[in-house]
């Protein structure tokens, strides 16, 4: 819920070729006020990590031994590892198979399927869980966790892989065929390796979501580190046991980041030389048409049909009564307020980072971006624990104000804005700015009229994705929201934990309705990035 949904190819400065688009002249590290500002933002983004490290260091070995090396942590470790080890490969297989079917075959209706396979992203995982628990009340354990998270998160692999497949240079595959490889061998030996970056990036996102998810697992009585930290929080506020579990969880995240960077490898797949690359060919399905259609239909029914059916069913059971009262309107307004505020602040904070990354690439920039990348992988519960403790003790003036919650949103969702802004800035070359200045505009006006205006669409895209993240955010909102705050997510959670499933249904519906356009935007953007 709290992890950016962007492809790795987009996230990492290393894997795009946009960095030199600005001409690369001027000071190497950039104008110092911007550098200072960026350093402050990066330092701020490292707060949660610093908090966990400090807490662990202060706890002393005895506490660590007592609270970390105990059977309960073993269980959580087993559950969490099992969840990641089973779900991630499932998502990768489903994501790649789905993407291949809709992008590279003549499967009937492949255009419609392409959208339908991305659509489950519009259904928050905890709403999915609510629907599945309505369908199968006894759902739980590793199986339940795997089922719900696979259905919720496979699009995170599908979307980037589909984007790569649709722009892949067919020349390589043709070479493979002409050297005597059959279609299957071409797929495994030529196509699959080219999908590695996108699939590994998607897999990383899936794993980070698995580590951070609270609501979906709490609803089916499946315990992971995140749910256990929240249980401890409910019993002790920010007690030592919660902090120790958080440090294990953070260690887990860092290991995943390291693992993903290892799988990226150094092979290069880019096309060099002149000429325009052809559109990749589509294979005839033949006898596989029916199994293909059935497979995709089954997937869509499970990932989209079940949640929509049950939300609608509860809406019908509840009748008009569940729409009365002011709580729903309040929650909608506050969700929109936080969504907009968070999106604006996050995009504004990301702007200087993106500016440095594009116009002044260098070691400093790399370091700053790296800091942001690590901090954005921290689960919402860890960010929230850190901010609640720091604000209560060190910055009481902002404690329990919207400032802290918006800061948490900025920490969690910054990469969504950063990725888009970076791409947007890269398409607004510095030379245009200079041209405007040469034509007599003062530098500031030139910047505002040229660069800022050209970046606006990208900024809006990034802000929309941040907004999507905030609408569905649960854990940080529960811990940090000012007194009296009700968002769609927290009210949905409060009602569904009291098993008032009918009362929760309107909130579920509103979250889906708010998420749907953003999901479509994400889907459309991935196609655009792939040059379609």
Partner 1 sequence: MKTWFNKTVLSRTALTAIAGVSVLALAACSGGTAPAASEGASGSATDAITVYNAQHESLTQSWVDAFTKETGIKVTLRNGDDSELSNQIIAEGAKSPADVFLTENSPAMTQVENAGLFTGIDAKIQSQVPAEYRPSTNKWTGIAARSTVFAYNKSKLTQAQLPKSIMDLASPEWKGRWAASPSGADFQAIVSAMLELKGEDATLSWLKSMKENSKAYKGNSTAMKAVNAGEVDGAIIYHYYWFGDQAATGENSNNVALHYFKNQDPGAFVSISGGGVLASSKHQANAEKFLEFITGKAGQTILQTGTSFEYPVASDVAANSKLVPLKDLQAPKVDAAKLNSQKVTDLMTEAGLL
Which is closer to partner 1, CB of 166 or CB of 227? Answer: 227
- Helices of type H across 180-288: 183-186, 192-194, 196-212, 215-219, 225-236, 240-264
**Minimum CB–partner distance for residue 338 and partner 1 (Å):** 6
**Minimum CB–partner distance for residue 140 and partner 1 (Å):** 9
Which is closer to partner 1, CB of 37 or CB of 315? Answer: 37
Which residues is 283 bridged to in the sheet? 105
- CA–CA separation, 243 and 77 (whole Å): 16
**Minimum CB–partner distance for residue 250 and partner 1 (Å):** 20
- Helices of type H across 265-359: 289-300, 306-318, 327-359
**Cα–chain center distance at 531:** 22
Q: Which two tokens stand for residue 80?
A: 């969490």
Q: Which two tokens stand for residue 381?
A: 């519960």
**Minimum CB–partner distance for residue 96 and partner 1 (Å):** 35
Which is closer to partner 1, CB of 338 or CB of 373? Answer: 338
Which is closer to partner 1, CB of 133 or CB of 508? Answer: 133
Report phi then psi at 397, rounded to 5: -60, -30
- CA–CA separation, 228 and 212 (whole Å): 12
Which is closer to partner 1, CB of 12 or CB of 422? Answer: 422
**Minimum CB–partner distance for residue 45 and partner 1 (Å):** 15
**Minimum CB–partner distance for residue 403 and partner 1 (Å):** 6
**Minimum CB–partner distance for residue 481 and partner 1 (Å):** 9
Which is closer to partner 1, CB of 485 or CB of 525? Answer: 485
**Minimum CB–partner distance for residue 402 and partner 1 (Å):** 3
**Minimum CB–partner distance for residue 392 and partner 1 (Å):** 5
**Minimum CB–partner distance for residue 89 and partner 1 (Å):** 28
Which is closer to partner 1, CB of 32 or CB of 269? Answer: 32
Let me know if 341 is exposed, middle or buried by CB neighbors in 10 A (0-12, 13-18, 19+). Answer: middle
Q: Which two tokens stand for residue 59?
A: 């706890």
Which is closer to partner 1, CB of 108 or CB of 234? Answer: 234
- CA–CA separation, 287 and 136 (whole Å): 35
- CA–CA separation, 20 and 375 (whole Å): 26
> Which contiguous run of DSSP H or E holds residue 468?
helix 453-471
Contact in structure between 242 and 231 (CB atoms under 8 Å): no
| Local structure of residue 304 (DSSP, 8 states) | I
Which is closer to partner 1, CB of 166 or CB of 347? Answer: 347
Sequence-separated (6 or more) residues with CB below 8 Å from residue 321: none
- CA–CA separation, 14 and 384 (whole Å): 30
Which is closer to partner 1, CB of 138 or CB of 266? Answer: 138
Which is closer to partner 1, CB of 243 or CB of 526? Answer: 243
Contact in structure between 451 and 433 (CB atoms under 8 Å): yes
Half-sphere exposure of 349 (CA within 13 A, CB side): 28
- CA–CA separation, 418 and 350 (whole Å): 5
| Local structure of residue 401 (DSSP, 8 states) | S
Q: Which two tokens stand for residue 32?
A: 């110092």
Which is closer to partner 1, CB of 30 or CB of 292? Answer: 30
Q: Which two tokens stand for residue 519?
A: 């999901």
Which is closer to partner 1, CB of 175 or CB of 235? Answer: 235
State the residues that interact with partner 1 by CB under 8 A: 26, 31, 33-34, 37, 67, 70-72, 75, 137-138, 218-219, 221, 223, 227-228, 231-239, 241, 330, 333-334, 337-338, 340-342, 344-345, 348-349, 351-352, 355, 392-393, 396, 399-403, 405-406, 443-444, 447-448, 482-485, 494, 497-499
- CA–CA separation, 96 and 451 (whole Å): 37
**Minimum CB–partner distance for residue 202 and partner 1 (Å):** 30
Q: Which two tokens stand for residue 154?
A: 């496979």
Q: Is 112 helix (H, G, I), strand (E, B) or coil?
A: helix
**∠ at Cα 195 (193, 196), nearest 5°?**
70
**Minimum CB–partner distance for residue 26 and partner 1 (Å):** 7
CB-based burial, 203-212: b 16+ in 10 Å, e otherwise? bbbbbbbbbb
**Minimum CB–partner distance for residue 437 and partner 1 (Å):** 8
């Amino acid at each position: 819920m709290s992890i950016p949904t962007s492809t790795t190819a987009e996230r990492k400065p290393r894997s795009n070729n946009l960095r030199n688009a600005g001409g690369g002249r001027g000071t190497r590290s950039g104008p110092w006020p911007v550098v200072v500002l960026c350093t402050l933002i990066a330092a701020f983004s490292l707060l949660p990590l610093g908090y966990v490290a400090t807490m662990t260091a202060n706890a002393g070995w005895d506490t660590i031994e007592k609270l970390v090396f105990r059977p309960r942590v073993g269980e959580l470790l087993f559950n969490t590892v099992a969840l990641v080890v089973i779900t991630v490969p499932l998502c990768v297989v489903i994501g790649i198979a789905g993407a291949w079917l809709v992008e590279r075959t003549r499967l009937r209706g492949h255009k419609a399927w392409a959208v339908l396979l991305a659509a489950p992203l519009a259904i928050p995982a905890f709403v999915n869980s609510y629907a599945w628990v309505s369908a199968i009340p006894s759902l739980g354990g590793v199986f339940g966790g795997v089922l719900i998270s696979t259905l919720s998160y496979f699009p995170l692999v599908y979307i980037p892989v589909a984007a790569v497949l649709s722009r892949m240079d067919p020349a390589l595959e043709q070479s493979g065929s002409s050297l005597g490889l059959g279609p299957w061998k071409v797929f495994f030996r030529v196509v699959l390796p080219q999908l590695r970056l996108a699939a590994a990036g998607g897999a990383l996102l899936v794993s980070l979501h698995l580590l951070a998810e609270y609501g979906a697992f709490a609803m089916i009585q499946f315990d992971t580190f995140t749910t256990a930290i929240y249980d401890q929080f409910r019993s002790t506020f920010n007690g030592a046991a919660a902090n120790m579990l958080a440090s294990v969880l953070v260690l887990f995240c860092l290991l995943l980041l390291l693992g993903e960077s290892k799988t990226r490898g150094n092979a290069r797949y880019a096309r060099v030389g002149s000429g325009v690359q052809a559109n990749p060919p589509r294979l005839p399905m033949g006898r596989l048409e029916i199994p293909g259609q059935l497979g995709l239909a089954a997937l869509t029914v499970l990932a989209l049909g079940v949640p929509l059916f049950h939300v609608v069913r509860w809406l019908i059971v509840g009748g008009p009564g569940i729409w009365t009262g002011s709580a729903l309107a309040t929650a909608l307004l506050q969700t929109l307020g936080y969504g907009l505020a968070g999106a604006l602040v996050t995009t504004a904070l990301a702007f200087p980072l993106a500016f440095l990354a594009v116009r002044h690439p260098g070691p400093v920039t790399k370091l700053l971006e790296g800091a942001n990348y690590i901090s954005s992988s921290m689960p919402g519960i860890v960010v929230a624990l850190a901010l609640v403790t720091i604000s209560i003790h060190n910055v009481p003036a902002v404690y329990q104000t919207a400032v802290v919650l918006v800061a948490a949103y900025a920490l969690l969702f910054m990469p969504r804005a950063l990725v888009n802004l970076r791409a947007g800035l890269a398409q607004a070359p510095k030379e245009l700015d200079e041209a405007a200045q040469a034509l007599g505009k003062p530098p500031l006006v030139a910047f505002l009229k040229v660069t800022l205006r050209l970046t606006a669409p990208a900024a809006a895209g990034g802000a929309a994705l941040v907004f999507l993240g905030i609408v569905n955010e649960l854990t940080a909102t529960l811990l940090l929201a000012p007194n009296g705050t009700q968002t769609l997510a927290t009210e949905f959670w409060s009602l569904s934990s009291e098993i008032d499933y009918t009362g929760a249904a309107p909130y579920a519906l509103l979250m889906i309705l708010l998420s749907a356009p953003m999901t479509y935007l994400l889907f459309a953007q991935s196609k655009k990035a792939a040059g379609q």
